[in-house]
Amino acid sequence: MSDAAAVPSVNTPPPTAVPSARPWKRAIAWLVLLGPLFFLSYGWANSLAAARVSVPSVVFGWESAIPFWAWTIVPYWSIDAFYAVSLFICRDRRELDRQALRLLTAQFVAVTCFVLWPLRFSFTRPDSDGVFGWLFDVLLGFDKPFNQAPSLHIVLLVILWLRFGAHLHGVWRWWLHGWAVLIAVSVLTTFQHHFFDVPTGLLAGFLCAWLWPMRVDPPWRGAVWTRERARWRLAALYLAGAMSLALPAVVFSGAALWLLWPAVSLLLVATNYALLGASGFQKQADGRLTVAAQWLYAPYLLAAWINSRWWTRRSPRPVPVCDDVWLGRVPTATERDGFDVVVDLAAELPLADARADDAVRPTLDLIAPAPTLLRAVAADIEIARSRGRVLVCCALGYSRSASAVAAWLLHSGRAASVELAIARVQAARPAVVLGEPHRQALQLAFDGGTPMHPAAMPASSR
């Protein structure tokens, strides 16, 4: 059984915020703190690296073909303006604080890397004149050829792109995307960074955004080391997978360094099983993972989606259990047609075409849902029935969603015992796998099949 202490509440949209004035004074206070901290910590890391006898470089042979474009110093410098303005476009105190904490975390992560593992830019920058030359001279007044990986420019770019992208629409959003590409390219064409600094900067940037999400709780809030053997076993397997990918990346370097991306992805999955739980995947009420989670988990998500489609290739369609409640895998937008409500238990896969009435109850794969969650999701299914045909799904439709349907059968009195509920689900879909942990969770949730009184339901499910 899952030892989660609380029922995930992402299926309940946050209450509509009361319009209020933007927190200008608080934004100014954050800027007064972050601005000096940026230059002081950045310069301190530079001075430490300059004092070393030898500072290495990570550079690939093909990088000698990268051109020097003096004009790109303009988009390079423009990130300073985006940095400051990003604090003032925040609509409320929560958004502002999360944005500021992302920027603060970015500074801490990058400077820590600069101090522990300093690198040096190894190319000679050509001379330039005019306005562009003056901008380079100002830059070189405090910026030395150190502080390379991860590129703090790229780390900040990710954070700023996410914030401005949430506020801009239409042609202005496309303009933002184009200018962001120019800023990203400029770190190479101004001869400020080697290529290695760019993907490491992207990784660090999305990590900062993942640590401080805007629409869900931070992944570390409520984190507790699991006492469940099954979760530790899966955490160990994912950790072993991460290490098996990281080792050749470090040993062989070169193109093998790309293996660090799936290695980090599997490391985060291992952390979810050991510590963070389903909330580490950051699945939102709209059925999507946060943008940061999508990028950080991308290799794992691709593998999970392929696995889902492979194991269900012979029976891809949902099956009816009873009374317009169906059981199946997480649907695509096309597969969603025909169902009025979806009750989704998959933490790791997005729900395409999610609608307002859908219930999103993220749970970890291969782990029996907690009794509290089973009681809540059973109520979700019963409420959803009043709106039409209901699809209860997880990655495969064989375990998590099956236990949810069994819980609903017990909750609604359609099954008198756990064994009868499981038998009814397996009769509808023989491939369903519900082991002893699922039986125990159902037994604890419904005490031998006694329906749950509505007054005892979690508030988010009534």
Q: What percent of the chain has pLDDT over 90?
A: 84
Q: Which long-range contacts (CB under 8 A, 24 or more apart) does 399-402 make?
A: 399/365, 399/366, 399/432, 399/433, 399/434, 399/438, 400/345, 400/346, 400/363, 400/365, 400/369, 401/327, 401/328, 401/343, 401/345, 402/327, 402/426, 402/429, 402/432, 402/433, 402/434
In a domain, 31, yes or no: yes
Residue 221 lies in a domain: no
Query: b/e map of 99-118 (b: 16 or more CB within 10 Å)?
Result: bbebbbbbbebbbebbeeeb
Same domain, 56 and 31: yes
Query: Same domain, yes or no, for 301 and 348?
Result: no
Q: What is the DSSP letter of 286?
A: T
Q: What is the pLDDT of residues 317-333, one digit of tens each?
A: 999 999 999 999 999 98
**Helices and strands: H and E segment counts in the chain:** 16, 5
Q: Out of 307, 332, 351, pick the residue that ends a domain.
A: 307
pLDDT range class, residue 408, cuts 50, 70, 90: very high
End-of-domain residue from the set 290, 307, 324? 307
Pair 321, 290 in one domain: no
Gap between the Cα atoms of 37 and 265, Å rounded: 31
Statement: residue 452 has pLDDT above 70: no
Whether 207 and 69 share a structural domain:
yes
According to the model, what pLDDT value does residue 142 have? 77
Q: Which of 113, 208, 393, 394 is catalytic?
A: 394
Closest CA to 235 of 364, 361, 349, 350: 364
Task: Spell out a b/e string for 215-250, using b for 16 or more CB atoms within 10 Å of the CB, else e.
Answer: bbebbeeebeebebebbeebbeebbebbeebbeebe
- pLDDT over 80 at 419, yes or no: yes
- Average pLDDT value for the chain: 91
- For residue 169, give every residue at least 6 positions away whose Cβ sits within 8 Å of its Cβ, in sequence order, or none: none
pLDDT at 440 over 50: yes
- pLDDT at residue 451 above 80? no
Of 37-51, 289-303, 410-424, 446-460, the range with the lowest mean pLDDT is: 446-460
Identify the bridge partners of residue 163 per DSSP, sorted by sequence position.
Answer: none
The answer to the question of residue 19 being in a domain is: no
Q: Is the pLDDT of residue 144 over 70?
A: yes
- 431 Cβ partners below 8 Å, 6+ apart? 315, 398
Domain with residue 387: its CATH number is: 3.90.190.10
Q: Is residue 433 part of a domain?
A: yes
Identify the residue with better confidence: 77 or 449: 77
Residue 433 has pLDDT above 60, yes or no: yes
Phi, psi values for residue 36, rounded to 5°: -60, -40
Same domain, 46 and 184: yes
pLDDT at 2 over 90: no
Reading across the β-sheet that carries 319-322, which strands appear in turn? 319-322, 325-329, 390-394, 341-346, 359-363
Q: How confident is the model at residue 194 (pLDDT cuts 50, 70, 90)?
A: very high
The whole-number pLDDT of residue 19 equals 53
Average pLDDT over residues 324-343: 94
187 and 320 inside one domain: no
Residue 9 falls within a domain, yes or no? Answer: no
Question: Do 138 and 286 fall within a single domain?
Answer: no
Contacts of 128 (CB under 8 A, 6+ apart): 70, 73, 136
- Looking at the structure of the chain, the number of domains it has is 3
pLDDT of res. 353: 87
- Domain of 180 in residue numbering reads as 24-211
Query: Hunting for tokens 């369609």 — which residue is that?
Result: 317
The arithmetic mean of pLDDT across residues 132-160, rounded, is 92
Q: At what angle do helices 197-211 and 93-116 cross, to 10 degrees?
A: 140
Asked if residue 411 is part of any domain, the answer here is yes
Burial class for 459, CB neighbours closer than 10 Å (0-12, 13-18, 19+): exposed
Domain boundary among 267, 291, 307: 307
Note whether 391 and 339 are within 8 A (CB).
yes
Q: Please report which confidence band the pLDDT of residue 219 belongs to, taking 50, 70 and 90 as the band edges.
A: very high
**Higher-pLDDT residue of 345, 333:** 345
Who's near 397: CB < 8 A, 6+ residues apart? 312, 318, 327, 328, 329, 429
Share of the chain above pLDDT 70, in %: 92
Burial letters 284-307, b for 16+ CB under 10 A, else e: bbebbbbbbbbbbbebbbebbeee
What one-character-per-residue DSSP string does 80-110 give? HHHHHHHHHS--SHHHHHHHHHHHHHHHHHH
pLDDT at 53: 81
Judgement on whether residues 320 and 430 belong to the same structural domain of the protein = yes
What does the chain come to in residues? 462
**Is residue 405 pLDDT above 80, yes or no?**
yes
pLDDT above 70 (res 14): no
**Residue 441: phi, psi to the nearest 5?**
-65, -40
Look up tokens 């901008």; give the residue: 135
In this model, does residue 152 exceed pLDDT 80? yes
Cα 386 to Cα 20: distance, rounded to the nearest angstrom: 37
Say whether pLDDT at 242 is over 90: yes
Calculate mean pLDDT across residues 220-248.
96
What average pLDDT does the segment 274-300 reach? 97
Examine the residue annotation and report whether 394 is marked as an active-site residue of this protein.
Answer: yes
**C-beta of residue 366 within 8 angstroms of C-beta of residue 234:** yes
Rg (CA), the chain: 25
Averaged pLDDT for residues 291-319: 96
**Structure confidence at residue 10 (pLDDT):** 57
Residue 348 has pLDDT above 60, yes or no: yes
Look at residue 360 and tell me if it is in a domain. yes
Q: Are residues 235 and 338 in the same domain?
A: no
Maximal CA-CA distance, the chain: 84
Same domain for 269 and 302?
yes
Q: Which of 356, 439, 351 lies closest to 395 in space, CA to CA?
A: 351
Give the residue-averaged pLDDT of 269-280: 97
408 and 327 within one domain: yes
> Quick one: average pLDDT of 185-206?
97
Give me the pLDDT at residue 435, please.
93
Same domain, 34 and 150: yes
Burial class, 277, CB count within 10 angstroms (exposed 0-12 / middle 13-18 / buried 19+): buried
Position 253 in a domain: yes
